[in-house]
Structure 1
Amino acid sequence: MSGRPVKRSLTLRGHRTSVSLEDAFWRAFRDIAAAENKPINQLAAEIDADRDMDVGLASAIRVHVLDHFRKN
């Protein structure tokens, strides 16, 4: 497992985008989506809609993952 970010593709509201996330965050993000019975693109779109525009999507996903596991 690498600590280096890897670029991954997502589709948000019909538009392709990419985020660079470390493997551990990507796996946790996928696990959260599965636990919530949501496609990963839907969860990413929800996070995208809730984030401040001065915060990058990858950072918003990392914070979402951290918050999720802090609460559980």
Structure 2
Amino acid sequence: MTDLTGAVWRKSTRSGDNGGACVEVATNLPDTVAVRDSKDSTGPLLTFTAQAWADFIAAAKREGRPS
């Protein structure tokens, strides 16, 4: 289990304020990035290695570009 003590959560800039799909990310943890639903802060979350998260973000940016 990843120790989330000291996690600083920030809401995605892509999340709206209308109660829809909101995501929070904690990137200040040693070698770990955690992701959770902002509407359920005590619910389940996902953790990734820092490298896996960086790879995911890079791929998302590549795939998100218009053709």
Regarding TM over 0.5, the answer is no
Given the two structures, how large is their TM-score scaled by the length of structure 2?
A: 0.35
Given the two structures, how large is their TM-score scaled by the length of structure 1?
A: 0.33
Task: Judging by fraction of residues, say which structure has more helix.
Answer: 1
Task: Judging by fraction of residues, say which structure has more strand.
Answer: 2
Higher relative contact order (CA 8 A, sep 6+): 1
